[in-house]
Amino acid sequence: MITRLSHLFLRTLRDDPADAEVASHRLLVRAGYVRRIAPGVYSWLPLGLRVLRKVEQVVRQEMDAMGAQEISLPALLPREPYETTRRWTEYGDALFRLQDRKQADYLLGPTHEELFALTVKGEYNSYKDLPVTLYQIQNKYRDEERPRAGILRGREFIMKDSYSFDLDEAGLARSYAAHRETYQRILARLGVRYVIVSATSGAMGGSASEEFLAESPVGEDTYVRSLESGYAANVEAVVTPAPAPLPLGGLPPAVVHDTPDTPTIAALVAWAESAKVVDRRVSAADTLKNVMVKLRHPDGKSEIVGIGIPGDREVDEKRLGAAVEPAEVELLTEADFAANPFLVKGYIGPKALLDNGIRYLVDPRVGTGTRWITGADEPGRHVVGLVAGRDFVPDGTIEAAEVRDGDPSPDGHGTLVAARGIEIGHIFQLGYKYTDAFEVDVLGENGKPVRLVMGSYGIGVSRMVAVVAEQQHDDKGLRWPSEIAPFDVHVVIANKDESARAGAEQVVAGLDARGLDVLFDDRTASPGVKFKDAELLGMPWVLVVGRGWAEGKVELRDRFTGAVEEIDAQAAVDAVVARIRG
């Protein structure tokens, strides 16, 4: 197939779009692949749509190969099933909700667990039908608070979501493993550099879950891994190794000190050092910082909670958010402090919280027998040598403290190093949350009903286009792997000579006859403009028919390596086919 640039609906832009922060966004807009319609809502122009469809096709082929079956559910969904699972409410502001002309409530599907569970319930009723894995490739909708980076985090986007249904947990584990392998195959074909990390399940419910993160400094997810072991986890999923309980006997009693003007950890440490209140060097890690947050639960109720973490660490908002889901975290207002006068800012200690019925959760490092310098619940006073498990017993632990480079790996091997990634896939062993909600049973071999166990698996399709652009681009423009390039080869006429034009037509016809998709720059623009566009648009191979044509030579450029090769004009078609088909 031949597409002429003189005809293609395309305008490349010289300047970066004003709102573009990341390279993929900048380049996909400049190269005329996508256009913004509203925040997080984009059009796909011809080149972008071609890449998108090719990514879709890779995903579809691999899903089919694993035995999954494609169906297509609506994006416009009735409220009721999401009410049953409470997600109508728990999804919060991220759900697009609307009403029809009869005031019936609808939503735009962010993910389809409910509907797939109901679909299987509707069709199948015997253990003989199981296992089954269904998938769709479809528009999804999430009203992101901060849509960003073009199609990297959109509010309307395309996802492949699939759902497995098994008779038992062993079956679920097999379905999960099959998806994991399929995702690895898909990402290998797309040439994406990625890591698989342990993840939290979030609003999805369920137990085991892993994320596929594309390595990228512009990613919104932080993950950590141990270089000494295979351990890798989204930072939200890192489980802090808890110290073994220490004996409580023989520890000196806690002592309250006047510590004027020490509302910050730094000031407190400076005081402790100078006052020599303990028999060793004092660091921020010896202090216990109590952070107050307000949780808004899905039922609308608010709860004030205290979180105790070592003073050398900050609260990580995303870890905290993941730890308290589906509740949402809010800051306390002045009115909250006024209503709870026992909260003495800068000097809050465990005692006032526990005495006043405030739930108090601590970092796992605050284990039984550990000793702390912390607030004494009076202005300008702290307590030294307060022992966890003796002087206060917290209501539980919480993973809210930041994870840092150098922290010990949770698997006991080596230390953690952090990097950033873009979430491109997520696989969940959901368990029974949805099949319980809708009573998805089949008749078992023994004649008794068997409740099905479910997995849910998603891979970003439109996001993948941005991810590949992000990982593969260079300073001149986009670079597409052959598997998903809009065209196999980009042919440029770089000479106004009529014979070069005729020669280019001949080469293009030859490439087309061999089944290649050719983007043909037949415009009358200058060679400089055309070369710049070819680099920006990013086809993997650029064939230049120019001055050399008279001597029977054309030029083949490798967009990835930048290598330029002069080849015989008569052999050009064979050479290009050989490069592409390997």
By CB under 8 A, name the binding residues for its own copies.
Answer: 7-11, 32, 35, 37-38, 41-46, 49, 52, 67, 69-78, 93-94, 96-98, 100-101, 104, 106, 108, 115, 119, 122-124, 132, 134, 139, 141, 143, 145, 155-156
Strand partners, 222: 420
* 1 vs 239 by CB, closer to its own copies: 1
Q: How far is CA 111 from CA 115, 164, 305, in A?
A: 9, 14, 31
CA–CA distance, 3 with 517 (Å, rounded to integer): 8
CA–CA distance, 124 with 449 (Å, rounded to integer): 12
* 106 vs 337 by CB, closer to its own copies: 106
Q: What is the three-class DSSP state of 367?
A: coil
* 95 vs 268 by CB, closer to its own copies: 95
* 71 vs 255 by CB, closer to its own copies: 71
* 97 vs 404 by CB, closer to its own copies: 97
Residue 134 CA to chain centroid, in angstroms?
A: 22
CA–CA distance, 313 with 284 (Å, rounded to integer): 8
* 10 vs 173 by CB, closer to its own copies: 10
For the CB of residue 437, give the shortest distance to its own copies in the complex, in Å: 17
* 108 vs 494 by CB, closer to its own copies: 108
Task: Find the radius of gyration of the CA atoms of the chain.
Answer: 30
Residue type present at position 174 = R
CA–CA distance, 416 with 234 (Å, rounded to integer): 12
CB 423, CB 221: distance < 8 Å? yes
For the CB of residue 52, give the shortest distance to its own copies in the complex, in Å: 8
DSSP string, 12-64: --SS--TT--SHHHHHHHHTTSEEEEETTEEEE-HHHHHHHHHHHHHHHHHHH
* 52 vs 494 by CB, closer to its own copies: 52
Strand partners, 518: 2, 489
Q: Which of 461, 395, 435 is nearest to 186 (CA)?
A: 461
* 106 vs 531 by CB, closer to its own copies: 106
For the CB of residue 251, give the shortest distance to its own copies in the complex, in Å: 51
CB 507, CB 514: distance < 8 Å? no
For the CB of residue 30, give the shortest distance to its own copies in the complex, in Å: 13
For the CB of residue 37, give the shortest distance to its own copies in the complex, in Å: 6
For the CB of residue 73, give the shortest distance to its own copies in the complex, in Å: 5
Q: Which of 325, 331, 146 is nearest to 236 (CA)?
A: 325
The H or E element spanning position 369 is: none
Strand partners, 423: 213
Q: If you count them, how many residues does the chain have?
A: 582
DSSP string, 97-121: EEE-TT--EEEE-S--HHHHHHHHH
For the CB of residue 166, give the shortest distance to its own copies in the complex, in Å: 14
For the CB of residue 141, give the shortest distance to its own copies in the complex, in Å: 7
Which backbone phi and psi does 556 adopt, to 5 degrees?
-115, 120
For the CB of residue 422, give the shortest distance to its own copies in the complex, in Å: 21
CA–CA distance, 142 with 302 (Å, rounded to integer): 25
For the CB of residue 568, give the shortest distance to its own copies in the complex, in Å: 33
The H or E element spanning position 518 is: strand 518-521
Strand partners, 420: 222
The token pair at 474 is: 């260079």
CA-based torsion, 535, 537, 542, 543: positive or negative: negative
* 75 vs 332 by CB, closer to its own copies: 75
For the CB of residue 428, give the shortest distance to its own copies in the complex, in Å: 21
The H or E element spanning position 175 is: helix 169-190
The CB density around residue 242, as the number of other CB atoms within 10 Å, is 13
For the CB of residue 53, give the shortest distance to its own copies in the complex, in Å: 9
* 128 vs 276 by CB, closer to its own copies: 128
Q: What is the three-class DSSP state of 476?
A: coil
* 143 vs 474 by CB, closer to its own copies: 143
For the CB of residue 195, give the shortest distance to its own copies in the complex, in Å: 31
Residue 56 CA to chain centroid, in angstroms?
A: 18
* 431 vs 486 by CB, closer to its own copies: 486
